[in-house]
Amino acid sequence: MVVVQASKLTLPNPSLFSPHITSVLFEPSSLSLALMHSDSSFSLYPSFSPLSSSSSSFPSLHTLIPSPSSSSTFLLLQSSNPNSTPRVLFIVSGPRKAGSEVLLRFYILRKSKAFAKARVLCSQKDLRFESNLGVLVNAKHGVSIKLAGSINYFAMYSVSSSKIWVFGAKMEGGDGGDDDSVVVKLMRCAVVECSKPIWSLSISFGFLLLGEENGVRVFNLRRLVKGRDNKAKSLKSDIRGSSLPNGIIGNDYRKHGARDRGSKSHGIEGLSEVTCNGDVEWKIGKHRGPVKQMNAKFRQDDRDGGVCFVALKRYDVETKSSAKVSISTKAVSIQALSQRKFLVLDSAGDLHLLCLDNSVVGANMTGHMRQLTRTMKVQNMAIHPDVSMISQTAWISDGHNTVHVVAIDVDNASNATDGNDGDDKLPHLPVVQVIFSGERIQDVISLASNAVLILGQGSLYAYAIS
């Protein structure tokens, strides 16, 4: 592989008084970019294509989201029609009333290719929408909020409340191209009560993944949404006719009957449409229509079917007395490689491959963790998952001045026999390319399987490889 294109991106309206960029989010299906600034405000850019002919400049049309903000995520709104184009929603959390409430602000990407505030309908207890603010959640904001989104679902974790809320969203209106009639219906589906700290949060391919100390806990998202209603189980609810998109999160079209993995080119290889069947309605027997959703409650250490904990490798350190002390690590980042395989970064800078063996609804999930050979002490990683590819590309950085492009043969790595025979038995990560940056690297964002966005000390760089 060689770098075939590289460019430094000129930030809009440069000024000595402009707040620096501290983090970046990218939504590949719509090419939407979100920049978080040092004053906790956001700039939203639609149709951001840094490797096009006009790569050095940002789109002139952007949306400024004022501070304070604590976390953010992109969410795709997919209707029950698998042939419809998903709509993009950007969600920002922040404190309200000295942190006594959580404020969620919703911005929808209009057909005019501009972000605007979304009208939200929510009728459940402890949720209320105020047009001049957003959705107010009766929960403590505290010191930290984490958001994670996928398709029709997002999760919110509050450290102070020690809870995770799982929300479902559905778009209504907008027929005939009228964006003014669009309404986003918001529904709280489940609450997970946490007894241990959560270090990372992810929703991918129908799973809610919690990065914890010494391992990763995995919830089946469909089970979270359905709850433990025995009546619903006895009725054999038709998941395929249900909304919230039946727990199918991601772009596995072949297995679940949606359209083929046709690539919708945006000038960068590997960008494809993401589709999912679902809406915020249920179909049970002959009945179809809005049904009161059960706000199911779960525990973090739930041992019921549909939940599993997969441990990380523990490190032994010798002390002066020659005694070995086990050192715990935390799963600080989790990103999907494929439907049942995930790359996990721990607090020691090592990478692990998490493989889930069973994702059948109602069955006990199992999984195993495989540590990968260390090429560096990793601080940042980024992946653009493509289920059609056998080998995945991962971008990893040591947080200094280099980004390594590594190829992960997912099947070979996961099929390796686990054991304690030393590092020579660990799956190897071949480095196929090294990118050097003139600035210390803060963040790495995958634009596609062959393109990456690097955040330096306030500067953005785009690279494409071939």
Q: What does the block give as tokens for 437?
A: 């940056």
**pLDDT for residue 232 is more than 50:** no
Can you give the pLDDT at residue 259? Answer: 33
Phi, psi of 344 (to 5 degrees): -120, 130
**Of 182-196, 217-231, 424-438, which one has max mean pLDDT?**
182-196
Domain count within the chain: 1
Can you give the pLDDT at residue 73? Answer: 97
Cα first-last separation, the chain: 5
Can you give the pLDDT at residue 269? Answer: 40
Average pLDDT, stretch 123-135? 91
Q: What are the DSSP calls for 143-172, one per residue?
A: T-EEEEE-BSEEEEEETTTTEEEEEEEEEE
pLDDT in tens, 68-94: 999 999 999 987 777 778 899 999 999
pLDDT in tens, 295-329: 677 887 777 667 899 999 776 555 566 666 667 89
CB 464 within 8 A of CB 5: yes
- How are beta strands 119-121 and 183-193 bridged, if at all? parallel
pLDDT in tens, 343-374: 999 999 999 999 998 655 556 788 999 888 77
Gap between the Cα atoms of 136 and 154, Å rounded: 16
**pLDDT for residue 11 is more than 80:** no
CA atoms within 13 A on the CB side of 247: 20
Percent residues over pLDDT 70 in the chain: 71
CB 258 within 8 A of CB 277: yes
Can you give the pLDDT at residue 176? Answer: 52
CA atoms within 13 A on the CB side of 300: 20
Can you give the pLDDT at residue 417? Answer: 40
CB 382 within 8 A of CB 452: yes
Between these two residues, 253 and 199, which has the higher pLDDT value? 199
Gap between the Cα atoms of 250 and 391, Å rounded: 18
pLDDT in tens, 52-62: 755 555 666 78
pLDDT in tens, 29-48: 899 999 999 899 999 998 88
Cα 360 → chain centroid: 22
3-state secondary structure of 184: strand
Can you give the pLDDT at residue 169? Answer: 94
- Residue 208 corresponds to which amino acid? L
For residue 343, what are the contacts with CB-CB under 8 A and spacing of at least 6?
334, 335, 336, 337, 351, 352, 353, 354, 381, 383, 394, 408
Average pLDDT, stretch 211-229? 85
Long-range contacts of 417-425 (CB under 8 A, 24+ apart): 418/368, 418/370, 423/373, 423/374
Give the range of the structural domain holding residue 248, as residue numbers without chain letter.
Answer: 3-465
**pLDDT for residue 226 is more than 70:** yes
CB 170 within 8 A of CB 184: yes
Average pLDDT, stretch 391-405? 90
Residue with tokens 């990103």: 335
CATH number at residue 265: 2.130.10.10
Between these two residues, 167 and 62, which has the higher pLDDT value? 167
Long-range contacts of 285-291 (CB under 8 A, 24+ apart): 285/235, 288/241
Q: What does the block give as tokens for 373?
A: 């050979």
Percent residues over pLDDT 90 in the chain: 39
Q: What is the pTM of this model?
A: 0.82
Residue with tokens 């949306």: 63
Q: Is 278 left (phi over 0), alpha (psi -120 to 50) or beta?
A: left
Between these two residues, 359 and 171, which has the higher pLDDT value? 171
